[in-house]
Structure 1
Amino acid sequence: MTLDSRVKAVADIKTELLFDVVVDLNPRLGIGDGPFGRRIFFGAAGGSFAGPRLRGEVLPGGGDWALFRPDGAMTLDVRLTLQTHDGALIHMTYGGRWIVPAELRADMSDPIKRYQVDPARYYFRTNPLFETGSPQYAWLNDVVSVGTGYLVEGAVAYKVCQVI
């Protein structure tokens, strides 16, 4: 294959920690099997986030309208509201994919074993974007970020990194 002559060498993608977040979850709501898979709502009950430039709480009321595809993969559709320690509100949205290998699915379905599975054994990635009217955090409106997810008891957690 010949490389197109218009392709330029550009810098590799680099990231830096934006924050770690834990989203506490309400009991799941099974919306049911539809034309694209099984839809389940995981409602956000609260939580917290902290990083070098911002910290605060995850407010109740958002959640993940997750779609479990027939092939076993989960597609995320998340909307959350973050409140910083100084009262600013930030709208956080992200999609993503959670791919659990077939040999781990039984353990991930078990209410106790799922927290013992090493997150390195599954693929759980997100692409958070932010919106805020707060002048102090307006820089977030222009940030592209990526996240790595994992399960913790009663919650889901992510390491979120800004693409720099």
Structure 2
Amino acid sequence: MDQDITAVVAEGPLSTIRTRHLFTMRLDVRPIVPIGSTPNGFRRIGFVTGGEIVGERIRGKVLNKANDWQVKRPDGSVTLDVRLAFETDSGALVTMAYRGLRHGPAEVIERLERGENVDPSSYYFRIAPIFETANADLMWLNGVFAIGTGHRFPQGPIYNIFEVL
């Protein structure tokens, strides 16, 4: 390779990631169902019973029966593997799948696990969603990769989702 790789990374289009707010999502969840210790960590499943999506280009409701397959790892962090569907205000159906990671100081995570409200800046909670739809007006969403920041409340999480441009 003729070009110095550090120069490519330090300047130009590869040097930054631009985003645009896509929507805010609030999820309603039932209490976590513990499965138990597995070779990957402590498996548990969260069941999403609804929620809402609010954004400039997308608004709607999260449909019932979504799942959040979590693993609490030995280091105290939690990985998420979520599949859900939402219906926009115009009736379009969209699937959303995301992986996520939540971790922080042990005392903060313990407070979250007890259902206490904590400062969202005191822990790390990020997701990486992708979307799928057959709706012609939302076909652009099939080509979007997104990132999100989350905050866990006792009744469920809230995420700000950003389209990666």
TM-score by length of 1: 0.91
Q: Which secondary structure state, in structure 1, belongs to the residue aligned with residue 96 of structure 2?
A: strand
1:51 paired residue number: 55
Q: Aligned partner of 2:46: which letter? A: F
2:92 paired residue number: 88
Q: Aligned partner of 2:70: which letter? A: A
1: CA distance, partners of 2:161 / 2:151:
12
* 1:10 counterpart (5, 9, 12): 12
Q: Does 2:75 align with 1:76? A: no
Q: Aligned partner of 1:5: which letter? A: D
1: CA distance, partners of 2:35 / 2:131:
27
TM-score by length of 2: 0.91
Q: Does 2:160 align with 1:159? A: yes
1: CA distance, partners of 2:76 / 2:103:
7
2:35 paired residue number: 31
2: CA distance, partners of 1:110 / 1:73:
15
Number of aligned residue pairs: 158
**Uncovered stretches (5+) of structure 1, i.e. residues with no partner:** none
Q: Aligned partner of 1:74: which letter? A: V
Q: Which secondary structure state, in structure 2, belongs to the residue aligned with residue 146 of structure 1?
A: strand
**Uncovered stretches (5+) of structure 2, i.e. residues with no partner:** none
CA deviations 1:55-94 (Å, max 9, x no partner) are: 0000011121011111101011000101100111101000
What is the CA distance between 1:29 and its match in structure 2?
1.2
Q: Aligned partner of 2:107: which letter? A: E
2: CA distance, partners of 1:92 / 1:63:
11
Q: Does 2:130 align with 1:149? A: no
2: CA distance, partners of 1:59 / 1:43:
11
Q: Which secondary structure state, in structure 1, belongs to the residue aligned with residue 44 of structure 2?
A: strand
2:136 paired residue number: 135
Say if 2:112 and 2:152, in contact at 8 Å, map to a contact too.
no
1: CA distance, partners of 2:36 / 2:68:
15
* 2:46 counterpart (31, 34, 42): 42
Q: Which secondary structure state, in structure 1, belongs to the residue aligned with residue 12 of structure 2?
A: coil
